[in-house]
Structure 1
């Protein structure tokens, strides 16, 4: 007898658009199971069902017990999972891309594999941060110098605006609590931003490891992408929260503030548009290529039909 394990696997058309999803939900010290097309979270306060197709990132903190069935649903719905350690150490994992087309991935691989096109995309990223300047003739070294000057200026401005003392960016990956309040807030804010960037990159089928500026790491493109938004999101939020709360539960306050900022500014919508503009040079609103057709590549004849039984050429 066939067993019924809940709702059927959702079709791609049934899933929520990336840009319409809730940015992220954080859960700790709880049991997570599956209830039809939702994950059921149970902790000391009660039980709540969360429809996974409407969430972009699930942050799992310490004390999480999650079932295989829940993870299966999460993978089918392209919900990015970020495992969060007690000291700010995070391990990233995700299911199948929500976008089943390889168009963006192929464009990314083509652009990053050619020196000239790679430099062009890197310049485009800097132009998005400096909209009133021309970067067409600058080298990567010159671009890095301008970015360093820009970031230091932002830190100084935020310090003056909030009254939070600033010396330099300093933190230890394996010792979160040893940092100053502002450095801890910056770490928490950046990690929340990385998680959201990762969810968009994964959902649209782009490789997180093929970076244009960062390289050599499996999350190189995540760091590239996140740098587009730090000046407007994570850095100001970190200084603001530090000024308000000092060192009192700084990571939690920062995470909540980032989540609220993501929602009010509709950052997911912007990220989807920016990613397609970077890789396809298209300013389009649709998240996904729903009508996906698979083909066979041929070095002489171009794309050939898939699912056809071919015969040996005599």
Structure 2
């Protein structure tokens, strides 16, 4: 096994396009190292070799150790690394996004910075929550009102389904233990879903702080995205957990969410939904970008000396 990275970096022009790669690979309780231009993943079952150039995003879960040589290879291969909780239900940190282009961030910023396009994107987000309904002419105030009524119905339906006593959503962000079992479970479920959304957002290269509906925090867009799936993922998981253990001890909401994330292929759906919301065509999603210089009306190639009107390559 090679103890140090190869001296010759991979030729980026020969790397597979990112849309042809495995979108996410999750690893836990293992050692990730390097053997030539392949990653080695070793756990109690043995060693698996994985071509680094076939990965878009590698998710490191609990108990994972990674060597410098492996990280150097992932960087050369244009793969991203995100450190997460079990099955991705927490977000801790990330490396570079897999798409070596500013396209995702620019598309996000363009929509966010214009009131009309931001409202249109918000309507698309709400449309995902109200399938079959026309929300194209509703204001943000009307959308919030309709969403509030929907969430009341969701909580009531889940309480009726599981037999869990439900009053209202109430929690103190500074005192988790002060809530009743169902509110603690809902808070735990939301936190897990935020972690999944955060990992996908930074893995693709979007900007977590530029919320479309939420605003003001470094995770505003994370809340936007997670809210699209709460009624399907985290809320049922919370009610199921409390129904199974009425005492509220050891709710294990995260495990239930993990199982739902896997069975519904939630991460893959998030990728598709984000591309649609940000109006990024599939064929443009994962192409490498060229380094350019911005001007008022157009862009120019970088790597040139523009002094005195000359365009001599540097």
| Alignment partner, residue 299 of structure 2 | 303
Write the deviation string for residues 132-173 of structure 1: whole angstroms up to 9, x where unpaired: 222222221111111111101100000001001111222333
**1:312 matched to 2:308:** yes
Structure 1 residue runs of 5 or longer lacking an equivalent are: none
SS of the residue corresponding to residue 124 of structure 1 reads helix
Are the equivalent residues in 1 in contact too, given 2:185–2:238 (CA < 8 A)?
yes
| Alignment partner, residue 136 of structure 1 | 136
Compared CA separation, residues 106 and 262, structure 1 to 2 (3 A): same
Are the equivalent residues in 2 in contact too, given 1:172–1:179 (CA < 8 A)?
yes
Are the equivalent residues in 2 in contact too, given 1:18–1:268 (CA < 8 A)?
no
| Alignment partner, residue 81 of structure 2 | 79
Q: Distance in 2 between matches of 1:200 and 1:74?
A: 22
Worse overlay, 255-264 or 227-236: 255-264
Write the deviation string for residues 227-247 of structure 1: whole angstroms up to 9, x where unpaired: 111111111111112212332
Are the equivalent residues in 1 in contact too, given 2:57–2:98 (CA < 8 A)?
no
Q: Distance in 2 between matches of 1:66 and 1:268?
A: 23
SS of the residue corresponding to residue 118 of structure 1 reads helix
Are the equivalent residues in 1 in contact too, given 2:112–2:210 (CA < 8 A)?
yes
| Alignment partner, residue 268 of structure 1 | 267
Task: Provide TM-score, normalisation by structure 1.
Answer: 0.78
| Alignment partner, residue 159 of structure 2 | 159
Cα drift, residue 108 of structure 1 = 0.9
**Aligned ranges 1:1-314 → 2 under 5 Å:** 4-5=3-4, 13=16, 20-22=23-25, 34-36=32-34, 37=39, 53=55, 57-60=59-62, 69=68, 72=71, 76=75, 77-82=79-84, 92-246=92-246, 247-251=248-252, 254-280=253-279, 282=281, 284=282, 288-300=285-297, 302-313=298-309
The higher relative CO (CA closer than 8 Å, separation ≥ 6) is in 1
Cα drift, residue 113 of structure 1 = 0.7
Please tell me the root mean square deviation across aligned C-alpha atoms, in Å.
3.5
Q: Distance in 2 between matches of 1:48 and 1:173?
A: 43
Are the equivalent residues in 1 in contact too, given 2:129–2:228 (CA < 8 A)?
yes
Task: Provide TM-score, normalisation by structure 2.
Answer: 0.78
Compared CA separation, residues 6 and 187, structure 1 to 2 (3 A): farther
Are the equivalent residues in 2 in contact too, given 1:20–1:268 (CA < 8 A)?
no
Write the deviation string for residues 240-284 of structure 1: whole angstroms up to 9, x where unpaired: 122123323213xx21221121111111221111001001164x3
Compared CA separation, residues 25 and 144, structure 1 to 2 (3 A): farther
Q: Distance in 1 between matches of 2:181 and 2:21?
A: 33
